[in-house]
Amino acid sequence: MPLILTARELADRLKVRPSTILAWHRRGWIPGLRAGRRPVLFDLVAVEEALRRRARESEAEHG
pLDDT in tens, 7-50: 999 999 999 999 999 999 999 999 999 888 899 999 999 999 99
Confidence of residue 4 (pLDDT cuts 50, 70, 90): very high
pTM: 0.86
Collect all residues with Cβ–Cβ distance below 8 Å to 22 and sequence separation of at least 6. 7, 40
Rounded to an integer, what distance in angstroms lies between the CA atom of residue 57 and that of residue 1? 28
Which domains are seen in the chain, by residue range?
Answer: 4-62 (1.10.10.10)
Q: What are phi and psi of 30, to 5 degrees?
A: -135, 145
Would the pLDDT of 59 be above 90?
A: no
